Amino acid sequence: MHIVFDVMVDGKKTETLRPNKQKLQDIRAFMREEAVRLIRKYGSNVYVNRRFEY
């Protein structure tokens, strides 16, 4: 089971983020870095949904 994040821009799924490590501290650091990159790439209308892959 892995935690992945779907990036939604204007209501459409544009990409899926898969952290390499599954420890919560590592995921938190990964998402902080990715949030900055996503805002630069898509603007401020970015939503991230978390889900589990089995």
pLDDT recorded at residue 27: 96
Q: Which residue has the tokens 């870095």?
A: 33
d(CA 42, CA 54): 29
* Ranges of each domain in the chain: 2-53
Compute the average pLDDT of residues 20-36. Answer: 95
Could you read off the pLDDT of 36-54 as tens digits, one per residue?
A: 999 999 998 999 999 999 9
With contact defined as beta carbons under 8 Å apart, do 43 and 2 qualify?
Answer: no
Compute the average pLDDT of residues 11-17. Answer: 95
Compute the average pLDDT of residues 8-31. Answer: 95
